[in-house]
Structure 1
Amino acid sequence: MKNYLPVLMLLLVVNVKAQIVSNNTELENAISNAQAGTIIELANGTWTNVQLSINVSATELQPCVIKAQNPGQVFFEGRSNISIGGSYIIFEGVIFQNASGLITDDGRIEPVIEFRDTSNNDCFNCIVRNIKIDAYNGTSSQEEDVFKWVIIYGAYNEVSYSSFIGKNGVGSIINDNHNNSTPDYSKIHHNYFADRDPVDNDVNGLNDQDAIRIGVSTTSLSDSFTEVYDNFFNNWSGEVEIISNKCGSNKYYNNTFRDYQGTLTLRHGNNAEVYGNYFFGNNNAFSGGVRIIGEDHKVYNNYFEGLRYRKPNGSGSSTTGALNVMNGQVNSALNGYYQVKNVQVVNNTLVDCDLGIRVGTSLSGATLEPENLTIANNIILDSDDNAFQILTMPSGNSINEGNITQNGSWDLANGVNSNQTVMSGLLTIGSDFYRVVTGSAAIDAGVGNYPFITQDILYGDREVDFDAGAEEFGAGGSVGPYEFADVGNSLGFGAFNPLSVSDFSIDNNQIKLFPIPSKGSLTILKEHGSIGEIKLYDVQGKLLYTQNINLNKARLDISNYEAGVYILKTSKTAIRFVID
């Protein structure tokens, strides 16, 4: 009996028809009647003053979808904002532009998109994707009012494949509020953040001008388990923190930063992982890499180039540098500076950064030195000022080993713990970034044991005798940094081509799947004729596998796929099925 229940669930999603609405009144009526499986399509054109609040308890198999009839051809203008509460709601395809009439209340402007309805019901398993917020700003007199474009509440939510362009004034682009100690499990990925200018053109001025903030100091000692990956930050200048981590157990990976000012800052919270990111500062003053505060962080396989630690006025800054490990405060308050403990900074590559690795920088009277700090197997090319700067000597079981520099001075002893200076041949310029070259001192130079580093920055496999730096020579990885040409193609607005729920249909005389739920293998059966081309998608519409089958029965190996809902599509059929 258990095996037949998902088949009945499949029948519930067949022939779903979208309701097309053309004005605010029709939209409000559709929202008031929405339920699991509802699909509301917004007619092409300009919509003004859209005030949408929805609360629907939908399901993974039958989400509630509000989307543009044609992505990129629906424009929300004036005072428009979206509030979603409940579960499994998807909002996609809309452009927000030409804001007007925004209202300031107690120094704040209502967010553009909020994962909470107007009755303060949070959203769970909800998705905002394939949208653009384009210079949707308040007036010049509202610049110092807090205006956050997207606020995430609840858990298991996602913001993806979207573009956020031309924000000014105070307020994050995306703020995962983490307003209590319950984990969020948010995912923020494949988004484009660009063209921000700070208030009064002062990047060292007002706070809360970041792109992404995860958490808040009051709940910073609890875990969020949020992942921020495959995002592109371009022509960005807001404040010192481009990404601000303020809670625990978050991951930041595969992101690219170009032509920017600021840093990825582990401001509060513990146990973060930062890996596989590319930082191209383009010699901008106040461009940094990763700033580290707190405990149990891992920072590895990152690439930094052209970073400049000075402020725009020419004075030095304690907040920048490619890798900046800060001092902590004695008995720090939650919003202060906690001591760095048990942190590993390994296998990073630094090129042409005036200050490379800094240990013991200080703000607000912080005097507690880093404790049990490991800095190993990093390679540094052409550091103008100081490749490795120790301002405060770390304590405890701290290790500096296997680091290599060329053309840069440092505060390490050559020949001690395999730290070395070479005269040439460390790296060579590639098509977009500096690569390990044949004969480089970095090859097979890694020392120590770091089991979490199984691949390099390009996602090539590390060898047993692994290299120093972010790249493993000859490993054959291909996951490089993002460029502007990728926007709208592989990330950002227009990159996501969802498998439309309204396209689902099941012809049981044509294609059958068994067993349901599946585990290990899935049998595909067509009663008449060959199966033809099949495509396997995940529930977000990502193509995972394709094959042309010239038989009427075939077995598909699904043993490597995680448990969840998937979609098998042929030329005439799209069927959801479950892997357990």
Structure 2
Amino acid sequence: MKNYLYLLVLFFIINANSQVVSNNTELQNAISNAQAGTTIELTDGTWTDIQISINVNGTDSQPCIIKAQNPGSVFFEGRCNISIGGSYIILEGIVFQNASGLISSGGDIEPIIEFRDTSNDECENCHVRNIKIDSYNASVSQDEDVFKWITMYGQNNEVSYCSFIGKNGVGSVINDNRSSTTPDYTKIHHNYFADRVPVDNDINGFNDQDALRIGSSSTSLSNSFTEVYNNFFNNWSGEVEIISNKSGSNKYYNNTFRDYQGTLTLRHGNNCEVYNNYFFAENNSFSGGIRVIGEDHKIYNNYIEGVNHRKPGGAGSNATGGINISNGKPGSALNEYYQVKNTQITNNTLVNCDLAIRVGTTVNSSLTLAPENLVVANNIMLNSSDSAFEEITTPTGTSVYQGNITQNGSWDLTNGVNSNQTVGSGLLTSGSDFYRLVTGSAAIDAGVGTYSFVTKDILGGNREVDFDAGAEEFGASGTVGPYDFANVGQTLGFGALNALSVSDNIIKENTIKIYPIPSSDELVISTSNSLIGAVKIFNILGELVLKTDVKLNRTKVDVSTFPSGVYLLKTENASNRFVVK
């Protein structure tokens, strides 16, 4: 009976802070009274001119949640702005559409969602998820004003399982301003970016028409530690930079780009990794894969197909190409071009790109510093129409080209030197979605050199000791392929993540078992899918009472010293409540 009372108490504590609101007055009152553990649910319908500024300090186990009662049935229209400050705030389930009455001030329009409140107090550990922004644009007369849909401030924030469709005008979809040098640890994942059209339909027109910008020139030499992964960019045209990296130690992986113009650009900052991404440019003009500027980058396991480096009208561009490694400017200012140094370009696959790998490009005459200590190794290139490998400026230092293979493409390398080779056939075969290695390919076991960071291939399969050239390891049985439209609303984008109840405010399914419940001495934790990993246990007040890391799929935790009560156990992928008697 005692244990049932604990559960009953837990039920009332949880639901005491849950409130359903049906109009703006009720919403503002609920926000004024919000605290850790508060959930505010919005009833179905159209909400007009919603202005929210909230600052609440939630906890990991008791966040403050603002959500649609039924995701996809709550529509914010007109002039809407959401500003969140404090910590552990979650916004989810809302559709933004039919903007009107947006106000320009000094050439800027207020963002739709901002990770700081109206007093400029930033948010930490806040999460925007399962949101859809659908053609929420300013008027045609405001196209040249900067309108950023989401601006990021603070640390350890996330944007996930959202759809961003039909962005027009100047301004990023997601912009991390990074006004300070404090690391962000931002995560942007499982989102859908689609159907952007540049101002005046001119891809060479205005800057700041990217999907993502991580950082700014002024703080670009500091580390952000942002991760951008498992996103899908489809039918995208804005400017040369789809993603604009302007900070250090960021990672871009498992993203898919289809039917686009532009590149993933490491514009400023150092020590970034770009790996396991798929690029399908579909021969669109002014398209590329990855553009490299700065130091200590690693570019590996990427698949790049159908790049056309030319601008609309046919003139060549020195900012595009499959993988474009730029020259630098002597004495470069923060907003100019730092020299490429100590960068490794390895195990990428490039197919049907007019220019595949380009070394030492110059967008203006001031860029005279050649890449230094550059490694280009174990890349494979198929059927490049202009050049599989183009060396415009010879790199300096201990630079090396080795183990690269091309089929039916001219290049500036010497066959037979450093295991670089040209083959006549059999390198790759077309698959259902992308070109794959085939039995007998010259790329199999052809990898040379040692690259400790290349432990898996683009599909998630393990690399062998005698590893293959290119992005795929033949026979490794990986399953992580590219995204297509069928994945939208299923594994990424709006609708892929079901709204969570107050009692289950963890974003992934429970895949963990704990017993016995109630417990008195030992609690058994097990999972059938993988290692348990990091474990945290919180009491009913949201206080962390135990933290451990488990490298097994079954373990026991001593709870004999825990006071009687209800507890929350969390791992990275799951959560469960249990009772100690």
Rounded Cα–Cα distance in structure 2 between residues aligned with 1:51 and 1:15: 27
Aligned-residue offset at 1:538: 10
Question: Kindly tell me: are residues 293 and 67 of structure 1, through their superposed partners in 2, closer, same or farther at Cα, counting changes over 3 Å?
Answer: same
Tell me, what secondary structure is at the counterpart of 1:37? coil
For structure 2, which runs of at least 5 residues remain unmatched after alignment?
1-5, 506-513, 536-551, 557-567
Question: Kindly tell me: are residues 159 and 558 of structure 1, through their superposed partners in 2, closer, same or farther at Cα, counting changes over 3 Å?
Answer: farther
Residue aligning to 1:417: 418
Tell me, what secondary structure is at the counterpart of 2:374? strand
CA shift digits 1:299-335 (9 cap, x unpaired):
0000000010000121000100000000000000000
Tell me, what secondary structure is at the counterpart of 2:239? strand
Residues 323 and 356, structure 2, Cα contact 8 Å, conserved in 1: yes
Residues 515 and 523, structure 1, Cα contact 8 Å, conserved in 2: no
1:370 aligns with 2:375: no
Question: Kindly tell me: are residues 320 and 556 of structure 1, through their superposed partners in 2, closer, same or farther at Cα, counting changes over 3 Å?
Answer: closer
CA shift digits 1:34-71 (9 cap, x unpaired):
00000000000000000000000110010000000000
CA shift digits 1:399-420 (9 cap, x unpaired):
1000000010000000000000
Aligned-residue offset at 1:363: 2.0
Rounded Cα–Cα distance in structure 1 between residues aligned with 2:452 and 2:515: 51
Q: Which amino acid aligns with 2:570?
A: V
Q: Which amino acid aligns with 1:373?
A: L
Tell me, what secondary structure is at the counterpart of 2:25? helix
Residue aligning to 1:330: 330
For structure 1, which runs of at least 5 residues remain unmatched after alignment?
1-6, 525-535, 540-554
Residue aligning to 2:289: 289
Residue aligning to 1:135: 135
Question: Kindly tell me: are residues 401 and 13 of structure 1, through their superposed partners in 2, closer, same or farther at Cα, counting changes over 3 Å?
Answer: farther
Aligned-residue offset at 1:459: 0.3
Question: Kindly tell me: are residues 416 and 576 of structure 1, through their superposed partners in 2, closer, same or farther at Cα, counting changes over 3 Å?
Answer: farther
Rounded Cα–Cα distance in structure 1 between residues aligned with 2:572 and 2:350: 43
Residue aligning to 1:486: 487
Question: Kindly tell me: are residues 448 and 13 of structure 1, through their superposed partners in 2, closer, same or farther at Cα, counting changes over 3 Å?
Answer: farther
Rounded Cα–Cα distance in structure 2 between residues aligned with 1:556 and 1:453: 26
Residue aligning to 2:435: 434
Question: Kindly tell me: are residues 234 and 558 of structure 1, through their superposed partners in 2, closer, same or farther at Cα, counting changes over 3 Å?
Answer: farther
Rounded Cα–Cα distance in structure 2 between residues aligned with 1:513 and 1:38: 28
Give me the TM-score of the superposition, normalised by structure 1: 0.88
1:167-246 mapped onto 2 (5 Å cutoff): 167-246=167-246
Tell me, what secondary structure is at the counterpart of 2:243? strand
Residues 537 and 568, structure 1, Cα contact 8 Å, conserved in 2: no
1:19-418 mapped onto 2 (5 Å cutoff): 19-364=19-364, 365-418=366-419
Residue aligning to 2:518: 512
Rounded Cα–Cα distance in structure 1 between residues aligned with 2:236 and 2:574: 41
Tell me, what secondary structure is at the counterpart of 2:27? helix
User: Which of 560, 563, 570 is the matching residue for 1:565?
Assistant: 570
Q: Which amino acid aligns with 1:443?
A: I
Tell me, what secondary structure is at the counterpart of 2:15? coil
Residues 256 and 278, structure 1, Cα contact 8 Å, conserved in 2: yes
Rounded Cα–Cα distance in structure 2 between residues aligned with 1:565 and 1:151: 29
Question: Kindly tell me: are residues 556 and 420 of structure 1, through their superposed partners in 2, closer, same or farther at Cα, counting changes over 3 Å?
Answer: closer
Question: Kindly tell me: are residues 94 and 513 of structure 1, through their superposed partners in 2, closer, same or farther at Cα, counting changes over 3 Å?
Answer: farther
Residues 299 and 344, structure 1, Cα contact 8 Å, conserved in 2: yes
Rounded Cα–Cα distance in structure 2 between residues aligned with 1:134 and 1:515: 53
Report which stretch shifted further, 234-243 or 493-502. 493-502
Tell me, what secondary structure is at the counterpart of 1:512? coil
Rounded Cα–Cα distance in structure 1 between residues aligned with 2:353 and 2:460: 24
Q: Which amino acid aligns with 1:557?
A: R
Residues 515 and 522, structure 1, Cα contact 8 Å, conserved in 2: no
Residues 566 and 576, structure 1, Cα contact 8 Å, conserved in 2: no
Rounded Cα–Cα distance in structure 1 between residues aligned with 2:432 and 2:371: 37
Rounded Cα–Cα distance in structure 2 between residues aligned with 1:71 and 1:509: 33
Residues 71 and 499, structure 2, Cα contact 8 Å, conserved in 1: no
Residues 569 and 575, structure 1, Cα contact 8 Å, conserved in 2: no
Residue aligning to 2:15: 16
Rounded Cα–Cα distance in structure 2 between residues aligned with 1:287 and 1:141: 29
Rounded Cα–Cα distance in structure 1 between residues aligned with 2:572 and 2:407: 52
Count of aligned pairs: 533
Give me the TM-score of the superposition, normalised by structure 2: 0.88
Q: Which runs of 4+ in 1 moved over 6 A?
A: 536-539, 567-570
Aligned-residue offset at 1:179: 1.2
1:522 aligns with 2:529: no
Rounded Cα–Cα distance in structure 1 between residues aligned with 2:389 and 2:515: 69
* Cα RMSD for the two superposed structures: 2.6
Percent of residue pairs bearing the same amino acid type: 69
Question: Kindly tell me: are residues 238 and 509 of structure 1, through their superposed partners in 2, closer, same or farther at Cα, counting changes over 3 Å?
Answer: closer
Residues 569 and 578, structure 2, Cα contact 8 Å, conserved in 1: no
Rounded Cα–Cα distance in structure 2 between residues aligned with 1:443 and 1:509: 48
Question: Kindly tell me: are residues 514 and 231 of structure 1, through their superposed partners in 2, closer, same or farther at Cα, counting changes over 3 Å?
Answer: farther
Aligned-residue offset at 1:16: 3.0
Question: Kindly tell me: are residues 514 and 123 of structure 1, through their superposed partners in 2, closer, same or farther at Cα, counting changes over 3 Å?
Answer: farther
